[in-house]
A and B are shown apart, each in its own frame.
Chain A
Amino acid sequence: MDLRFTDDERAFRQEVRDWIDANLPADTRERLAAGRTPTKEMQLNWQKKLNAKGWCVPHWPAEWGGRSDWSAIKRFILLEELQGTPAPIPLGFNCNMLGPVLIAFGTEEQKKFFLPKLANLDLWFCQGFSEPGAGSDLASLKTRAVREGDHYIVNGQKTWTTLAQYADWIFLLVRTNPEATKQQEGISFLVVEMNTPGITVRPIITIDGAHEVNEVFFDDVKVPVANLVGTEHRGWDCAKFLLSNERTGQARVGASKDRMRRLKLIAQNAPGGERPMIEDSRFRERLVEVEVQLKALEMTTMRVLADENRQLSERKPNPASSVLKIRGTEIQQSISDLYVMAAGPYGMVGADPDGDRWNEPELAPEWATLAQPTYFNWRKQTIYGGSTEIQKNIMAKAFLGL
């Protein structure tokens, strides 16, 4: 048992850090450091640079641009450095969701057409899973696809579609066989161009004022049968595969460590009565408590990584992986709460949405104006990707035998 990084791994971390420093545009770095998400242009520009370097999809097979010579630990180091700088990370919909599904289930034509474009962000994909009536109970989805000759005709509605306003394509779960005895068995997995006639995107503004998610309506949308991924009616296999991939990224340890480092610096200067906020014992206690939780999460991530590093045949389901989603998201929420406390009354000054400049000249530092919106927005983390309660159901079945 030796939990230290090897010299090679440490050297790789330095290489990544130096490369990011030399290549990440200053405006992207500043925007992310303040706690904002990258603009579409920033994401496009950065992902293309990463891809040219060969660092965008290291977890894919070598023939599709992956780095099969990399260990899981090396991949984690890259991700942690990106999250910790912070720099934009490769678009999850493309690289961690659809890409691996196509590699596992796609036709040769689909792989050739899509995979290079996914890695290079030549096509921006969004995810069409949730529906107004199908949240945690995803398999109850109703969006219908009826086969007519060489096409499916799609009708229905998707919701919570993240960044659909940027997307060129959407990957979609649709019901192709409503008669199936089990509802999981009548679902298919399609990819659809967003500019197909009959698709309407309507923004959903979340409580932080942001336009991040959307409703997507399908009204007699014609989709070529060639856009079916995997076997008809077996789309649930793709969905399950997609949801089980790369759990170590979900914990977002690198991002949380970076947010904590910045918070400590902020709290050294933020007014906390007679002394700076960092000397407020209640605040400090909460801060240190989160640090301990984050350390436990980091160590747990390492354990899961060491497992992912094994040959597939030697792997056992590791209960530690369930900890990652549950605690990782709780910790991110706790940190966002600490930022709200650190900001105090000037945290009530709203952050200006992009393009609007109501905080000029500055009333409160940008981090303070973003504290409450981020706190509002991050309530989503324990809801999406399988809510905390769904995770506990999964644990009870998969690991506890209940």
Chain B
Amino acid sequence: MDFDLSEDQRLLQDSLTKLLADKYKFEDRKRYLKSATYWSQEMWEAYADLGLLGLPFAEEDGGFGAGPVEVMLMAEAMGSAITLEPWLATVVMGGGFIRHGASAAQRAAMVPQIVAGKLKLAFGYTEPQSRHDLHDVATTAKKDGAGWVLEGRKGVVLHGDVADHIIVTARTGGARRDKSGIGVFLVPANAKGVTRRGYPTTDGLRGAEITLDHVSLPAEALLGDAGNGLALVDRVMDETIAALAGEALGAMDALQKLTLDYLKTRKQFGRPIGTFQSLQHRAAEMMVSLEEARSMAMLAAMMAGEADALERRRQMSAVKVQIGRSGKFIGQSAIQLHGGIAMTMEYLGGHYFKRLTTIDTMFGDADHHLTQLMAMGGLNQAA
């Protein structure tokens, strides 16, 4: 058992932390939000220069062969700066499908492009009726000669407005809520019949509604198995939850520090408000919650590559429950301890709170994963 980082991991962490400290101050972030893409192309290129866009890809495909620990460290640093770029969508989610579902030829064509920052991906799985259920898929994929025709709509697609390819789930057979009969397809954003409407999400990131109107795709657009795509989706989602746990940890940690600074400097009744016991105890509870989240983010990094799918799903649902619970408690407490100032757009604190709220919502909130965990019989077997 060893919780220490390797020298390489430490260097990687340092380089991104330095870059963000230098180029991703709150004022910078406000500026990036007003740019044409609503995030920073300059930073995207800087991530590419640091190698962050190629981290999890295999070396033979042109990546750096890094594991879930490296991904967690990157996500944590990005969480502490609440970065806006499509890293999670492209590298972790989209990249996950390419790594686990694409053919060697597809990987050879796409991975170097992703690594260079020239290709962006997104994953569309939510539909208007589906809430958090990944298997609730009304979008259809019908066989058309050797290829496929897709019909349907995907919603709240993270960075779907800028992606060059959108990966979607579509039903190849069975009824709307069946767990089998789901395929995963790689859809070029410029394919005929694809329309998209981009919009800001509440945390300042970007979402898109994607309509698929009789979109014809070649046979190789299908990633993996035509009828058993859900296993692939689960695998990628679990890696995504692990990365998201890192990002949430970074945001919680930064918000906790911001709150402590405020408690030490803000004065009322003639003394710093951090000298009042009721506020101290709430701050201590925030710290307990933060350390629980840190422990579970580490568990996530350890379990993201677990081969036993059921065991991995169990642990990742537990992680998502904890991240959701901790994020909500720390976010709400931070605002309460600050008072009105943290309710303003002009203050950094509220932006962490908003990101932590969307992190809980994404890929199933804490209650959803608690229900999932219940259905799997809980974390541990009975004696």
Contact = CB atoms under 8 A, between A and B. Distances in A.
17 contacts: A1-B2, A3-B298, A9-B1, A261-B383, A284-B378, A288-B379, A292-B370, A294-B379, A295-B379, A297-B292, A320-B291, A322-B291, A323-B292, A396-B277, A400-B283, A401-B260, A402-B274
A281 B212 CA distance: 39
A73 interface: yes
Interface string B292-309: 111110110110000000
Interface stretch (A45-53, A129-137, A155-163, A262-270): A262-270
Contacts of A300: 291-292, 295
B370 A319 contact: no
Nearest to A71: B1
Given A3-B298, A292-B373, A297-B292, 9 more contacts: A2-B302, A3-B2, A284-B378, A288-B378, A291-B318, A296-B293, A391-B284, A393-B277, A402-B283
Given A289-B370, A395-B284, A305 B291 contact: no
B1 A4 contact: yes
A385 to B, nearest CB: 17
Interface residues of A, number: 51
Contacts of B298: 1, 3, 299, 303
Contacts of B284: 322, 391-392, 395-396, 400
A297 B288 CA distance: 10
Contacts of A395: 284, 287
B264 A401 contact: yes
A287 interface: yes
Contacts of A389: 281
Contact of B370 (A285, A305, A327): A285
B288 A299 contact: no
A1 B370 contact: no
Given A303-B298, A305-B1, A389-B281, A292 B321 contact: yes
A303 B295 contact: yes
Interface string B367-383: 00011011000111111
Contacts of B274: 396, 400, 402
B378 A3 contact: no
A69 to B, nearest CB: 17
A399 interface: yes
Contacts, number: 151
Contact of A299 (B299, B371, B382): B299
A302 interface: yes
A126 B4 CA distance: 40
A396 B378 contact: no
A92 B96 CA distance: 50
Interface in A182-235: none
Contact of B382 (A268, A293, A392): A268
Contact of A402 (B69, B260, B294): B260
A91 interface: no
Interface string A45-66: 0000000000000000000000
Given A400-B280, A401-B260, A1 B3 contact: yes
A118 interface: no
A257 interface: yes
A306 interface: yes
A5 B302 CA distance: 12
A288 B3 contact: no
Contacts of B5: 1
A326 interface: yes
Contacts of A181: none
Nearest to B293: A296
A6 interface: yes
B201 interface: no
B382 A326 contact: no
A20 B282 CA distance: 43
Contacts of A396: 274, 277, 280-281, 283-284
Contacts of B370: 285, 288-289, 292
B383 A3 contact: no
B374 A261 contact: no
A1 B69 contact: yes
Interface in B1-39: 1-6, 9
Given A264-B383, A299-B295, A392-B285, A73 B1 contact: yes
Contacts of B322: 292, 295-296
A63 B285 CA distance: 42
A260 interface: yes
Contacts of B295: 296-297, 299-300, 302-303, 320
A300 B264 CA distance: 28
Interface in A1-19: 1-6, 9
A288 B298 CA distance: 20
A293 B366 CA distance: 13
Contact of B291 (A260, A289, A323): A323
Interface string A250-279: 000000011011101100100000000000
Given A299-B299, A396-B280, A319 B3 contact: no
B190 interface: no
A20 to B, nearest CB: 15
A269 to B, nearest CB: 10
Contact of A306 (B2, B279, B321): B2
Contacts of B285: 392
B378 A299 contact: no
Contact of B4 (A1, A257, A281, A327): A1
B275 interface: yes
Contacts of B6: 1
Contact of B379 (A2, A262, A291, A303): A291
Contact of B383 (A4, A265, A281): A265
Contacts of A305: 1
Contact of A3 (B1, B281, B321): B1
A5 B279 CA distance: 39
B118 to A, nearest CB: 32
B330 interface: no
Contacts of B373: 288, 291-292
A295 B180 CA distance: 31
Interface string B310-326: 00000100100110000
Q: Tell which of B6, B370, B380, B382 has the most Cβ of chain A within 10 Å.
A: B382
A26 to B, nearest CB: 17
Contacts of A327: 288, 292
Nearest to B277: A393
B263 interface: yes
